[in-house]
Structure 1
Amino acid sequence: MKKARTFADNGIRVAAQDGIGALIIDNPSRKNALTQAMWRAIPTAIDWLLDDARVHAIVMTGGGHTDFSAGADISEFDTVRADAGLARIYEADNSSAFEAIREARVPVIASLRGVCYGGAFGLAAAADLRIADDTAVFAIPAARLGLAYPADAVADLVRALGGQMARRALFTGQAFPASSLMACGFLSEVVVADSLDGAAFSLAKTIAANAPLSVIAAKMALRATEAQDERLLTEAAVLGAATFESADYREGRAAFREKRQPVFTGE
């Protein structure tokens, strides 16, 4: 059964079906630019997908058919980022959204077409996997606007782009085609435009068909390894050990013996 909700006056939409969630940045008249309310809604939307809909994978995409997102809605800046104090509040909202994507317990796939600029580039960098079509263009125009990019988002960019490409993106503000970001490893796949949705949701379906506890443990182990964080490493070890006591581990072995597809329950 399909479940759905909207947040931030319909600017953030979520839906879930068959263990797969969708998070849609939906402001197509402004190239899916994110208002402050939309930034603030992202963590709540992710929580809904995880805790209410109980999805096993999430696809993050833009509304309409042309763009992922132009990033923060600059038309608000005279109000919501008018001075350093307001800018710090706004940046905290950005960081909470990046964190929600980065720390979601299930894999998040960014499905990218058209413009992926500024904060939207940051959301994509926080995701686990990124697929783009051949219309996608990426840029971080912060240096051209006279503002700074949040440090936690810069860390995501360094992990996802590599140090040299992250520096080039931040220092120059120039735009990069999907082919350049495929070459540096930011993207796992580039497809023709009409194939993007199918590719992203096919990948999510493949992930969702696997043992949920194994995938959750794998994501935590990856995060812990990248961060070299002792707390996360300990949590990853606990999650990994728990898989060997799970019903899904018994089902996986039985399916292998019986030469059939396993049916996992996440228990």
Structure 2
Amino acid sequence: MADDHLPELTGFTLSLRDQVATLTLDRPEKMNAMTRDMWQALGVMIGRIERDEAARAIILTGAGPHFCAGADIGEFETVRRDAETARAYEALNAAAFAAIRNATIPTIAAIDGVCFGGGFGLAAACDLRIATPQARFAVPAAKLGLAYPVEAMGDIVATAGAQMARYLTFSSARIDAQKAMDCGFLLEITASETLLARAGEIAGVLALNAPLSIRASKASIAAALSGRKEDMEHAQNLGDATFESTDYAEGRRAFLERRAAKFLGR
């Protein structure tokens, strides 16, 4: 497939190649700090990708040498100045994190440089994370005197573990890529010059597999983490549906014929 550039919203660049969509946070002059408008737009961007049947995986990354410095604190005097405005702002945060977390196709964060605060939350909401040795991670809410959104905290606990979540949020300390790898937050560490290529390799492998199967697996893992009955029922329904799908029949035929399966996502 050719490199098809999709319509963009301010602060992002979006492209699609070989069934893999790459969504780039594009404010390198601000270390890709997220504005209020960007938080609001992110869910729109994820939805746009999901509606494109050609997209089978998403890579989330940052322009320039950094992933994301978090929320743009320069806006806080206006958009996050008190409890009322903070609730509205955090609703946008939560919706952005949820859009990534609940995406029907797998998401991979490709991280270089700083991955702080809301940027850490974006990465934590992704299914998989890879980073360079230069990557640094922090959740500095305690230094700013604010609380991290509850749902996003669930992502941090699920990806880094409860003890590391406590350490990061209580101390506001920065950890390096190896520490993030050791606690399970990262899948692997790769050189800066190969970061996007390696993310593309992983995404390409996922894109070749059955979309309905991956969607059911995502739901099952989410249900295992949440323990909620409704999540378990949803995952079971998605799992049951795979056995009625065209892709399941194709997978069986391909195995018997000793060839690569061609999955259609239905």
- The TM-score by the shorter chain falls in which range? over 0.9
Residue 77 of structure 1 aligns with an amino acid whose one-letter code is: F
Q: One-letter code of the match for 1:19?
A: Q
The equivalent of 1:195 in structure 2 is 194
Aligned to 2:259: 260
Is there any run of 5+ residues in structure 2 with no aligned partner, and where?
Answer: none
- Give the C-alpha shift of residue 3 in structure 1: 4.1
Runs of 4+, deviation exceeding 6 Å: none
Q: Secondary structure at the match of 2:193?
A: helix
* Counterparts of residues 111-150 of structure 1 (less than 5 Å): 111-150=110-149
Matches of 2:241 and 2:108, distance apart in 1:
25
Compute the RMSD of aligned alpha carbons. Answer: 1.1
- 1:167 corresponds to which residue? 166
Structure 2 length as normaliser, TM-score?
0.96
In the alignment, does 2:244 pair up with 1:242? Answer: no
Describe the SS at the equivalent of 2:8.
strand
Q: TM-score, normalised by structure 1?
A: 0.96
SS at match of 2:262: coil
Deviations 1:114-157 (A, max 9, x none): 00000010111111101111110001111111111111111111
Q: CA deviation at 1:53?
A: 5.2
- The alignment covers a number of residue pairs equal to 264
Whole-angstrom CA distance in 2 between matches of 1:53 and 1:31? 32
The 1-side partners of 2:53 and 2:26 are apart by 20
Matching residue's letter, 1:6: E
Provide the residue aligned with 1:42 in structure 2.
42
Could you say if the C-alpha distance between residues 73 and 53 of structure 1 is closer, same or farther in structure 2, counting changes exceeding 3 Å? farther
Deviation of 1:55 after TM superposition, in Å, equals 1.6
Q: CA deviation at 1:14?
A: 2.0
Percent sequence identity over matched residues? 46
Q: Which amino acid aligns with 2:23?
A: L
Q: Distance in 1 between matches of 2:165 and 2:44?
A: 29
The answer to whether the 8 A contact 1:3-1:53 is kept is: no
Question: 1:103 aligns to what?
Answer: 102
Q: Which residue of 2 aligns with 1:20?
A: 20
In structure 1, C-alpha distance between the alignment counterparts of 2:5 and 2:251, rounded to whole Å: 29
SS of the counterpart of 2:7? strand
Q: Helix, strand or coil for the counterpart of 1:154?
A: helix
The separation in 1 between residues aligned to 2:179 and 2:256, in whole angstroms, is 45
Corresponding residue of 1:79: 78
One-letter amino acid of the structure 1 residue matched with residue 153 of structure 2 = V
1:59 maps to 59
Aligned mates of 1:74, 1:53 — CA distance in 2: 37
Distance in 2 separating the partners of 1:33 and 1:3: 23
Worse-matched range after superposition: 144-153 or 40-49: 144-153
